Structure 1
Amino acid sequence: MGYIASMSMPVSSDTDQTLAQLAKVAATPPWTSSPAGGPRVLFISLYCFKSFPVRGFHQLARQSGIDSHAVFFKDNLTNRHTPITEDEIGYLKALLRRIDPDMVAVSVLAPYVPAARRVIAAVREITDAPVVAGGKHPTISPDEALGYADYVCKGEGELVVLDLFERLRAGSRDFSGIQGLWHRDAEGRTVDMGQRMLIQDLDLIPFEAYGEPQMHFIEYGRLYESDPEMEAEEILVMAGRGCVYMCSYCVNSLLIPMNRGNGRFVRLRSPANVIAQVMDRMARQPKARFASFNDEVFGVFDDWTREFSEAYRQAGGPPFNCELVPKLIKEKNVRALVEAGLYEMHFGIQSGSDEIRTDVLKRPGKNVELLEKARMLAECGVQVQCDLILGNPFDTAEAQEESIRLLAAMPQPLKLNTYLMQYFPHYPLTERALKEGLISAADLTEDKVADRTLYNWIYKPDVTHFDRKTILENCIYLIPWNTALVWWLAKRSCERSNPVLGAMVNGLAAWRYQLDFCANPALVWLRRLWLVGRMAATGDLGGLRRRLAARLARST
């Protein structure tokens, strides 16, 4: 396909007008009964019931006076995603017939492109409403996304969506000429409409919709209207947008250069705005016990952190966890957050090798710094939770030895998440792996990317190979068990290769995956009986009573 030169309109007047409209919408309460006679829109999330974009756009539409529906088509069941069934497609078609939308918008991530193609094909069987695609895949590959959608939103979508609403109110389904919304002309050439300026004041954006009207959930061959998040113990919140680093395996390595000159990339909502949302969610979710801040820069800025911590404590917010790049962790900010309720901090190690972490993954921080920050967090009473990427072809057996030594030196007990290295088209790490012959173009087809991320996102131990690197990776996978046997196996495996030890490691790794991740019923009950027997044999009857009471409390 050819391209037409950018037809972007001047940013200033258009953006100022739409920002003024966003400010007006932010101050307008959402409708409680759907407005009659106006345009109808349908937003679709793929494989994510928690979808921030779709929940956000549904609420933006409601506060704009638009008759909006949100469909959450399939959920993120890590490593256990269920395939789309004809019954589920049937439920979607029935909703389309009932809603009769004037526009359908779909949020698409790279792993879900095959699902997007199937869902949009079903949409086109029922309605001729224009289909708009947004999200990471359309933003990074707008021309590819125009292969399944009529229009593609490149970059943040709130201002584009407000312009779409105005077109619909005017009775038009022709969305050409909207800045940030790409399309193809009559000759099939891609019309580059650039992208919108980044919204600098995030307080203008309405809170995401939770438990609101006209939200539909499809999974396990069923359609239901009740929002499952209303029963969740976790309140998941994003206090800001953007990251300061460009790790080679992360989407920000593409988004940051793409947005240079487009406004500040790293932005935070005001502390008052964040706290108001947490308290609103507390009121909506009676079972909520804690909050999780899903941001890369939460707790980085000193003034913001101090103001948030004081106000959150006074508001009586629930205990919370957050994530942060270790390089950005500051003790004074951690102590302030602990006073407010911080109990756990999540950060990425990704590789135990300083060289691979900095030179290949382009992630800052040396092992000595990671240990320093982890020990400081432990001294402050914060549980450390680490991420490590396995299956990285740039890693070596020696790098895995370094990972084991690093993890052994961390404050114990250690929480550890292990992920499989993923390759997404156009990412710097992917391009380097292609160049060095570690992967091929066949590994980057839509179906390959989908299969790998849907069914092997969390590291699935390779128990069929007995090379030293694989054995050491499986030792790392076992470390969350934190038993003397696991650490003995890891230490011995670092010292020398031994087929018997390798077989033990692989067998235990397979057992852990079935027990902890797949929740194999036989293994779960076997482990429970072993724990009860051990506690009874050691006379720890008080501990046994506490465990049983906690189990009963969770089941009621």
Structure 2
Amino acid sequence: MRITFVQGPYESLAVEYLASILKQKGHRISLVIDPQLFNTVYFKNGLLGKFFDLRPWVIKAVIASKPGLVAFSVFTSEYQWALDLARGIKQQNPALPIVFGGFHPTSVPEVVIKQKSVDIICIGEGEQAFVELVKSLSGKRSNYRIKNLWFKKDGRVIKNEIRPLLEDLDQLPFPDKDLFFSQLPFLSKYYLMMATRGCPYRCTYCGNHVKAKIYRGKGKYLRIRSVANVIQELVKAKRKYPRLKMISIPDDILPLNKPWLREFIKQYRRKIKLPFLCYTHPRYIDEEIARLLKEGGCFWLNMGLQTASEKNRLTLLHRVETNDEVREAVRCCHQVKLKFSLDHIFGIPFEGEKEYVEGLKFYNELRPSWINVFWLVYFPKTEIIKLGKKAGYINAAVEKQINEGQISTCCTLQIGSDTQDISRTQQGEFKNFALLYTLLPLIPRKLMAQIIKKKWYRKIPDVSSGVFFLAKLVARLPIHQVYLYTSELTKTVWLAREVIRKKWLNKSN
């Protein structure tokens, strides 16, 4: 049976794992990518977006692949885009089954299953469920009792329970990278992989607590692959993709287990020897971990912080690290000259100029290599929505829009477009402080102290999205030139060139 996945211009590990396991079972896989030029959460421009709109071509390419099943892996920011394509596919072939999986259907399945263009939804991890679904669709009798799946049948919805989590991640085949690399060759310069699934924390703004709640009583939520399995995947990748320049490991917290990390770095230094970036939590950094990461080739370590207010981190975000623990983690990174970034979220309920200034002071003390600035995104069913209601930002109508994926889910600033769910006054305040946070690593400590003392941050004019983007680009250049391999700008330029040359219209597999 042929399964056709439809994706935006982003590599998806979920799709790669599904493709790999389905190929093992003898099924054929196609991938149709919508370039979404100038219409993504990072680059949005109405005029250019319409000019480069290839959705009619995407629909034709899906139908031309002659699939037995069409699958979308849907994050909230992609939900309306996926629905639009699903409607177009159904208009061409009403009998073709369409399944939605991913975070959005997992968080609000009751909303997604109501859509006429969606026949099946997958809740949670889908590897085992997809194998059973394709087997059912390939057979003579349909099986509507597949765990993790909801079906439509005879005007009603069949809701199946969640299966236990797969605890041994080593059982999974390695992700099928060729699926994306064949169409987006620039991706082969870096390798995206994950060593863990799950997170030990339940931050109110993060989807992890939504998924953990669904899987309560269904096994261990936080799981880790063996070092041997991870290294085996990377050795194979290094051999297969000679253009490979770096490894990206976006696990929530890579150094969860110190003995595991010791062995991983030992094997990585001996067999891989490529720069890598990874993520951690301030409580999972000490002198030994920082040294191991640096010696292993980590060129960029990302740590979440979200606000400089220790009280707000605990009471509003359920983040337990203290400012002294953050200081110690930062000290360990500076000690071994490990470049690191800190995440900061603007728009947290009940925070304003006072907290933003507090953040300037704290970050000027810490002096990170880079500050990732985000605007708070309210994802469906996350606990932060309750705080948004209490602060007066969210009412029933807005919550409905969140569940429908109709509220902008751009974390920072879009080129040529502003987020839809904040006022002009808040945008101006946010942009001015965001600009200072972004440029802070390049501004001498004493000068930043003067900016804070004399309140010059109030005199910064409202900046355009384009200016802010340039500031981000300039601030990132000193970190490591290899970052440019994964930049949105590089990808957009390449995709635009391919579309203009009409080469993209010949792509899909």
Q: TM-score range by the shorter chain?
A: 0.7 to 0.9
Q: Which residue in the other structure is 1:192 paired with?
A: 159
Indicate if the aligned counterparts of 1:375 and 1:411 stay in contact, CA closer than 8 A: no
Which sits farther off after the overlay, 131-140 or 396-405? Answer: 396-405
Instruction: Quote the offset at 1:257 in angstroms.
Output: 1.8
Deviation at 1:194, TM superposition (A): 1.3
**Counterpart code for 1:407:** Y
Superposed CA deviations along residues 58-84 of structure 1, whole A, max 9, x for unmatched, are 222212110111223345954214757
For residues 372 and 509 of structure 1, do their structure 2 counterparts lie closer, same or farther at Cα, with a shift above 3 Å needed?
farther
Tell me what 2:4 maps to. Answer: 42
| Aligned-residue offset at 1:454 | 4.2
The 8 Å contact of residues 478 and 509 in structure 1, kept in 2 or not, is answered as: no
1:67 aligned residue: 28
- Residue 289 (structure 1) shift: 1.8
* Equivalent of 2:371 in 388, 403, 416: 416
Instruction: Report the CA distance shift for 1:177/1:97 in structure 2 as closer, same or farther (over 3 A).
Output: same
Match of 1:80 in 2: 43
Find the partner of 1:494 among 447, 452, 461.
Answer: 452
Instruction: Give the SS at the match of 2:64.
Output: helix
Query: In the alignment, is the contact (CA less than 8 A) between 1:300 and 1:330 conserved in 2?
Result: no
Equivalent in the alignment of 1:332: 288
Once superposed, what is the RMSD of the aligned Cα atoms? 3.4
Amino acid at match of 1:110: T
Q: Which residue of 1 aligns with 2:263?
A: 307
Structure 1 residue 234: Cα displacement: 2.2
Match of 1:203?
170
Shift of 1:438: 2.5
Task: Describe how 1:295-374 pairs up with structure 2 within 5 A.
Answer: 295-374=251-330
- Secondary structure of residue in 2 paired with 1:105: strand
Q: Could you tell me whether the CA contact under 8 Å between 1:278 and 1:317 is conserved in 2?
A: no
Aligned residue for 1:155? 124
For residues 241-260 of structure 1, the aligned pairs below 5 Å read 241-260=197-216
Compared with structure 1, are the counterparts of its residues 317 and 86 closer, same or farther at alpha carbon in structure 2 (3 Å cutoff)? closer
Distance 1:104 1:175, change over 3 A: farther
Letter in 2 for 1:495: K
**Structure 2 letter corresponding to 1:416:** I
Question: Does the CA-based 8 Å contact 1:292-1:320 persist in structure 2?
Answer: yes
- Equivalent of residue 515 in structure 1, options 470, 473, 480: 470
- 2:332 maps to what in 1? 376
The answer (yes or no) to whether the contact 2:373–2:412 under 8 Å persists in 1 is no
Q: 1:179 to 1:158 in 2, by over 3 A?
A: same
Task: Point out the more displaced range, 377-386 or 238-247.
Answer: 377-386
Q: What residue in structure 1 maps to residue 151 of structure 2?
A: 183
Alpha carbons of structure 1 residues 278 and 465: separation in structure 2 relative to 1, 3 Å: same
Pick from 99, 117, 120 the counterpart of residue 65 of structure 2: 99
Of 442, 466, 474, 1:482 maps to 442
In 2, the alpha carbon distance for the partners of 1:304 and 1:514 equals 38
Specify the code of the residue in structure 2 equivalent to 1:50: E
How far is 1:352 from its partner? 0.7
Between the two proteins, the alignment pairs up a number of residues equal to 469
**Distance in 1 separating the partners of 2:96 and 2:285:** 48
Structure 1: gaps spanning 5 or more residues: 1-38, 216-224, 532-542
> Residue 40 of structure 1 contacts residue 67 of structure 1 at CA under 8 Å; is this kept in 2?
yes
Identity, % of aligned pairs? 24
**Do the aligned partners of 1:292 and 1:321 also contact (CA within 8 Å) in 2?**
yes
Which secondary structure state, in structure 2, belongs to the residue aligned with residue 371 of structure 1? helix
Classify 1:81/1:61 alpha carbon distance in 2 versus 1 (closer, same or farther; 3 Å).
Answer: farther
Tell which has more relative contact order, 1 or 2 (C-alpha 8 A, sep 6+). Answer: 2
Q: Give the structure 1 partner of residue 105 of structure 2.
A: 138
Greater CA drift, 346-355 or 299-308: 299-308
Say if 1:85 and 1:186 are closer, same or farther in 2 by CA, change over 3 A: farther
Instruction: Give the Cα separation in 2 of the matches to 1:465 and 1:424.
Output: 23
Residues 497 and 379 (structure 1), Cα distance of their counterparts in 2 relative to 1, 3 Å cut: closer
What's the CA shift for 1:341?
Answer: 1.8
Q: 1 CA distance for matches of 2:426 and 2:169?
A: 51
Partner secondary structure for residue 452 of structure 1: coil
User: How do 1:382-397 residues align onto structure 2 when only pairs under 5 Å count?
Assistant: 382-397=338-353
Closer, same or farther: CA 244–231 of 1 in aligned 2, 3 Å: closer
Q: Distance in 2 between matches of 1:466 and 1:153?
A: 37
Q: Check conservation: 1:44, 1:54, Cα contact below 8 A.
A: no
SS at 2:305 equivalent: strand
Trace 1:404-553 onto structure 2 (pairs within 5 A): 404-411=360-367, 414-444=369-399, 445=401, 449-450=405-406, 452-454=408-410, 456=412, 465=425, 470=430, 473-474=433-434, 476-480=436-440, 482-484=442-444, 488=447, 490-495=448-453, 497=455, 502-503=458-459, 505-506=460-461, 512-516=467-471
Contact preservation (8 Å) 1:104, 1:132: yes
Return closer, same or farther for 1:229/1:377 CA change in 2, 3 Å cut-off: farther
TM-superposed CA distance for 1:204, in Å, is 1.4
8 A Cα contact 1:58 1:70, kept in partner: no
* Structure 2 match to 1:237: 193
The residue number in structure 2 matching 1:278 is 234
The answer as to whether partners of 1:55 and 1:70 remain within 8 angstroms in 2 is no
> Which residue does 1:263 correspond to in 2?
219
Query: CA contact under 8 A between 1:40 and 1:100: conserved in structure 2?
Result: yes
Partner deviation per Cα, 1:475-534 (whole Å, 9 max, x = no partner): 6434346224x963x534533556xx633x2357867415245x7xxxx9xx9xxx9xxx
Deviation (angstroms), 1:246: 0.5
For each residue in 1:230-284, what CA deviation from the matched residue of structure 2 results, as whole angstroms up to 9, or x when unmatched? Answer: 5543222111110000100000121112211111111111112212222332234
Q: 1:509 to 1:262 in 2, by over 3 A?
A: same
Amino acid at match of 2:442: N
Match of 2:82 among 99, 116, 124: 116
Distance in 1, Cα, partners of 2:212 & 2:197: 12
| Contact 2:431–2:463, Cα closer than 8 Å, also in 1 | no
Match of 1:28 in 2: none
**CA apart distance, 1:87:** 5.8
Moved more, 243-252 or 425-434: 425-434
Q: Does the Cα contact within 8 Å between 1:231 and 1:286 map onto a contact in 2?
A: no
Q: Distance in 2 between matches of 1:150 and 1:51?
A: 22
Question: Given that residues 103 and 130 in structure 1 are in contact (C-alpha distance below 8 angstroms), is that contact kept between their aligned partners in structure 2?
Answer: yes
Name the aligned partner's letter for residue 479 of structure 1: L
2:350–2:391 contact (8 Å) kept in structure 1: no
Unaligned runs of at least 5 residues, structure 2 = 485-489, 494-509
Return the alpha-carbon distance in structure 2 between the equivalents of residues 370 and 110 of structure 1: 31
Describe the shift of the 1:322–1:260 C-alpha distance in structure 2 as closer, same or farther (beyond 3 A).
Answer: same
Deviation of 1:181 after TM superposition, in Å, equals 0.8
